Amino acid sequence: MNRIPDPKDLLNKDDDSSADAMAALEQSGWVRLDTLSGATHRNRIIIQKAVGGCLRLTVWIAFFALWAGGITLLWHMIGPERWRWLKPEEVAHLQSIIFSSALGAVVAKGAQHYIFGNDKGAR
């Protein structure tokens, strides 16, 4: 293992290179910018993939909620009176849930398009 020289020893040298040696010693301890930017880039990619996965999951949940709510609402609209199990207030609440799910799916798809562009999301 290389031992870092004591700065006092470098300053006590008689030649003019002591300042250059101090600068070189200081520069050797710096973090390389290209490795730092690579790490930052990798972190951004990981975060972007995680956000994209959450957006896709949200879209699927909203789709299935919309689908199940739509089937139930359709059943209550076209089915016979004796097959209905929801009260009118519950049907109105179901309509609001369907609207919210559809709107959420549209917003999530728009966000996914905004983040990933036209490449259909990160894989």
What's the pTM?
A: 0.46
DSSP state of 14: S
Task: Answer yes or no: are the C-beta atoms of 48 and 121 closer than 8 Å.
Answer: no
Structure tokens at 113: 């398009």
pLDDT at 50: 93
What per-residue confidence (pLDDT) applies to 14? Answer: 54
Please write the tens of the pLDDT for every residue from 29-74: 666 655 666 677 788 889 989 999 999 998 788 778 778 888 988 8
SS (H, E, C) 63-88: HHHHHHHHHHHHHHHHCCHHHCCCCH
State residue 23's pLDDT score: 76
